[in-house]
Amino acid sequence: MSSYRIIGHQGIKLQIKNSIKLNRFSHAHILVGENGIGKSMVAKEMAIRVLGKNELKPYVDMIEFKVPKGRKSIGIEESKNIIEEINKKPYECDKKVIIIYNADKMTEAAQNALLKTIEEPPLESFMVLLCEKLDGILDTIKSRCQVYKFNRLSQEDMLLFLGNRYPQLDEEEINSVLAFSDGIPGRAERFISDSHLCEIRDAVADMLKRLKDDDVDYFLRFSNYLLSIKDEWQEILTCILAYIRDVLVYKETGNKKLIVNADKFEYIKIISEMFSFKKLNALVNIVKATKGKLGKNVNPALVFDSMLVKMQEV
């Protein structure tokens, strides 16, 4: 595994490297972790290592399957295509690697159709399944795969990632990216390239500052705003938690230098004067409960309204 290509996940990289070197590499693997954490990069690195290649680029014997455009899941027909591809002989190399993205979005029927192939794959074929949550994968498949769980990167690794990828960022910009990304490189890349995410960050800071305002119209507008960007709910909640963590740190230490959202210090200071430690922890619990509900696909309009009402009542 070429460590210079992937920052972080040292334990996983070492385990994969050793298993390939010792010829103990399993025929089926599951990489689980949040979107943007680095699963796809590791999967491709695994593939080129297995294929005996050195350069990270497309290869005819590295086949990728994704959720079909306009669909929300991988169905039985796609599963049949995967099985057909797995059973074909390699073209260029003596091995073949199949990478399945969003494997947790495979229907139960599609997973069951794939099960026998996972149990008894062709000797020269390997499968790598990528998913956000293991809950969406059948136990019968999980038990037959080597599972690697990806954790968020440390601040040191994130700084290394940003320094390598975006050397033009100044200290304030880096702090903003660190706060928003919350240890996920892909989220950092999105924040830097998408001004819409900066807008979310600004809107959330303003909302927290106005939690004690008795302005029904404002919070109705903000609730509608959240609903209009409901697909970004993870980013929204990450922003809220990042600000509250900064408020807790500042309230505890009084040290501005320890704040990650340094460019929002005036907001942090105002919010720290508004809430006690007990109430700040209550806000954290409200956000975490909201995250759990949205993760279970509860109606976003009801969830956001409930979150804002509870936060105002703290």
- The answer, yes or no, to whether residue 2 has pLDDT greater than 50, is no
Q: What is the dihedral of CA 128, 134, 136, 140, to 10 degrees?
A: 70
- In angstroms, the CA 280 to CA 295 distance is 23
Q: Label residue 8 left, alpha or beta by phi (over 0 means left) and psi (-120 to 50 means alpha).
A: left
Angle at 210 between CA 204 and CA 213, to 5 degrees: 150
Q: Sign of the CA dihedral 253, 256, 257, 263?
A: positive
Q: Nearest 5 degrees, angle CA 88-CA 32-CA 46?
A: 45
194-313: in CATH 3.30.470.20: no
| This prediction's pTM | 0.78
Report residue 2: phi and psi, to 5°: -85, 100
Question: For 278-297, how does the pLDDT look when each residue is reduced to its tens digit (9 = 90+)?
Answer: 999 999 999 999 999 998 88
- Between 200 and 1, the higher pLDDT residue: 200
Structure tokens at 130: 């990528």
pLDDT in tens, 163-218: 999 999 988 888 888 888 889 999 899 888 888 888 999 999 999 999 989 888 99
Residue 234: pLDDT above 80? Answer: yes
Q: SS3 of 120, please?
A: coil
Mean pLDDT in residue range 110-136? 92
Locate the domains of the chain by residue range. Answer: 10-149, 194-313
Say which CATH topology domain 10-149 has. Rossmann fold (3.40.50)
First to last CA, the chain: 49
pLDDT band at 12 (very low <50, low <70, confident <90, very high): very high
Q: What pLDDT is stored for residue 224 in this prediction?
A: 93
pLDDT band at residue 102 using 50, 70 and 90 as cut-offs: very high
